[in-house]
């Protein structure tokens, strides 16, 4: 028997890397899911296994235009999230973050739905505080090549809190740090997918700068668990809450780990560091630990293995 609209969960960007894993978890938990995606960086292939479920519906739609549906909860994940894709059409990236937030907040206001915004560690820019707590306001270049994404997401957070204060909307905000796993795009320019694809193809592994800049990598299953827990918190808990893995690795360490796990003979080569590339990125997840009773449980090597297997199959290697 079909549930009422109040039981339906809308996931924008639901055919993307994160969104597809979230849809899968929600369906497995017995929810009805409406997956909305314009397939700019997402692909219907990511949710193909869900299409046969009568609890799942796919709608091709761009969130920069209003959406008139009846739902009980909204996860707003729609936005290209890797520099390669968000810099390809920076104006559209900003519109997706800002107009998309306005449209989804308007929908949430109309149907009185709880709404979660997938924000990003990029709101901290190139941080002067390490690790980054939620109270840190960031060090962001407002006119740089990454600004379309950084400032777009910062503005989306502003809108969420203004809807909360002005309309008493039930909002949740999570700031997502580097996440990896199966269904990443091979051409997304992110360091994990880049290194795996280069290693599997036997190409040089390109490390920018001296490779000593650090990142923290969270496996997708851990991240989805945190998002679901955040959505389930009491009404007064708005966030923002950092979600990520606080274990820090240098880019060079990641490259060497990928080489070892793939058995590749690729060489590691150095290239100049891109503009506005952060030197350090590591979340302070103490708030997530206390509020969500959550911490990541998947070690890097354990998460890299299914990710590498996914890319082997995708590339036919």
CB 228 within 8 A of CB 187: no
Nearest to 42 by CA among 236, 184, 215: 184
Catalytic residue list contains 149? yes
Using CA atoms, how far residue 23 sits from 74, 122, 135, 144, 205, in Å, is 12, 24, 30, 33, 33
Cα distance between residue 220 and residue 223, in whole Å? 5
Cα distance between residue 168 and residue 210, in whole Å? 48
Q: Which of 75, 86, 149, 180 is catalytic?
A: 149
CB atoms within 10 A of CB 137: 10
Cα distance between residue 91 and residue 99, in whole Å? 11
Nearest to 13 by CA among 112, 120, 87: 120
Cα distance between residue 19 and residue 155, in whole Å? 21
Where does residue 199 rank: exposed (0-12), middle (13-18), buried (19+ CB within 10 A)?
Answer: buried
Name residues whose C-beta falls within 8 Å of residue 87's C-beta, 6 or more positions apart in sequence. Answer: 93, 145, 146, 148
Concatenated DSSP letters for 248-266? EEEHHHHHHHHHHHHT--P
Tell me which residues are annotated as active site.
149
């Amino acid at each position: 028997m079909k549930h009422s609209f109040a039981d339906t969960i809308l996931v924008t960007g639901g055919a993307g890397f994160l969104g597809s894993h979230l849809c899968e978890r929600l369906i497995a938990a017995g929810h009805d899911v409406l997956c909305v995606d314009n397939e700019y960086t997402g692909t219907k292939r990511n949710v193909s296994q869900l299409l046969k479920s009568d609890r799942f519906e796919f709608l091709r739609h761009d969130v920069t235009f209003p959406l008139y549906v009846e739902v009980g909860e909204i996860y707003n994940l729609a936005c290209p999230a890797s520099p390669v894709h968000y810099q390809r059409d920076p104006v559209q990236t900003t519109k997706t973050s800002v107009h998309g937030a306005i449209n989804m907040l308007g929908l949430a206001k109309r149907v009185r739905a709880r709404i979660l915004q997938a924000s990003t560690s990029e709101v901290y820019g190139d941080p002067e505080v390490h690790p980054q707590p939620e109270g840190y306001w960031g060090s962001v270049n407002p006119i740089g090549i990454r600004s379309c994404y950084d400032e777009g997401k910062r503005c989306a957070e502003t809108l969420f809190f203004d809807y909360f204060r002005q309309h008493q909307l039930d909002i949740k905000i999570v700031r997502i740090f580097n996440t990896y796993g199966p269904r990443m795009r091979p051409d997304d320019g992110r360091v994990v997918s880049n290194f795996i694809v280069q290693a599997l193809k036997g190409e040089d592994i390109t490390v920018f700068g001296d490779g000593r800049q650090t990142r923290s990598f969270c496996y997708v299953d851990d991240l989805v668990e945190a998002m679901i827990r955040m959505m389930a918190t009491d009404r007064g808990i708005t966030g923002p809450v950092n979600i990520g893995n606080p274990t820090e690795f240098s880019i060079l360490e990641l490259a060497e780990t990928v080489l070892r796990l793939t058995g590749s003979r690729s060489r590691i080569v150095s290239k100049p560091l891109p503009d506005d590339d952060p030197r350090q990125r590591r979340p302070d997840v103490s708030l997530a630990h206390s509020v969500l009773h959550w911490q990541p449980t998947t070690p890097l090597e354990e998460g890299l293995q299914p990710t590498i297997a996914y890319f082997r199959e995708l590339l036919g290697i």
